[in-house]
Amino acid sequence: MPKKAAIIIGSLRKNSLNRKLAQALANLAPNLLTFDIIPLDAVPMFNQDLEANLPEPVLRLKEQVNAVDGVLFVTPEYNRGMPAVLKNTVDWCSRPTGKGVLVGKAAAIAGISPGVIGTALAQSQLKPILLTLGMRLMGQPEIYIQGNDAYFDASGAIAEARNRNFLASFVSRFADWIG
C-alpha cells in the first residue's frame, strides 16, 4: 500500500504555477505515494489567542497533516522570500510548542517561479524552520524550477520528458525518504 503524503502549497491562487506543479508531482506518483493537497484559503492568520478554541479550518489542517506520513511543501517565491500563507500554515502546525503535527514527519520542498533562481531563496528560509520543528527534511534532489505556464502541457502534465523524468525521480526519492 502506498504511503500517504500531504501537499502544502504556498500560494492561494487557483491557477498558480506551484499549484500546477503540485498536481503534476502528485500525478507522477500513483504507485509510490498518495497525495492530498491541503486547502489553506480558510486558515486564519496565526493568533495565539485562538489556541484555546481552534478555528475549524485549523483543526482540519492539523488533522490532515497528522494523518499522513510525509509533507511536500510546494512554494513560490515572493519578493525573495517565503509566502506568508506558507509560514502561517507552518506556525499553526507547530503548535503547541514541541507537540505540533510536523514533529518527526518526512518533508521535501519543491517550487517553480519565472525568476532565474526559481524558488531558492524561499526554500532557504523554509528549510531551517522545518528542521527546527523536528521534521526529517530530504536534502536531495533540490527542485528550484525556473518556469512559466509553458512548463506544463494542455493537460497540466510536465511538458518535456526530461523534466518529467527528473520530477518522477524526485517523487520516487521522496517516497523512499518517507520509508
C-alpha distances (whole Å) from 46 to each of 53, 84, 108, 117 are: 13, 11, 23, 30
Q: Name, in order, each residue with C-beta under 8 angstroms of 34's C-beta and a sequence gap of 6 or more.
A: 2, 3, 4, 5
* Strand, coil or helix: 4: strand
Query: Average of pLDDT values for 49-78?
Result: 97
**Where exactly are the structural domains of the chain?**
3-178
Q: Is the pLDDT confidence value at 1 over 80?
A: no
Residue written as grid cell 504511503: 3
Residue 167 near residue 58, CB atoms below 8 Å: no
Strands (E) across 75-142 are located at: 106-113, 136-137
As a whole number of angstroms, the distance between CA 115 and CA 105 comes to 30
Residue 91 is predicted with a pLDDT of: 98
Q: Please give the span between the terminal C-alpha atoms of the chain, in angstroms, as a whole number.
A: 12
Q: What is the pLDDT of residue 14?
A: 94
Bridge partners of residue 145, in order along the sequence: 112
DSSP state of 145: E
How far apart CA 69 and CA 76 sit, in angstroms, is: 23
The CATH code that applies to domain 3-178 is: 3.40.50.360
pLDDT digits (tens, 9 = 90+) for 97-118: 877 999 999 999 999 999 989 9
Tell me the pTM: 0.96
pLDDT of residue 76: 96
Which pLDDT does position 21 carry in this prediction? 98
Bridge partners (DSSP) of residue 34 are: 4
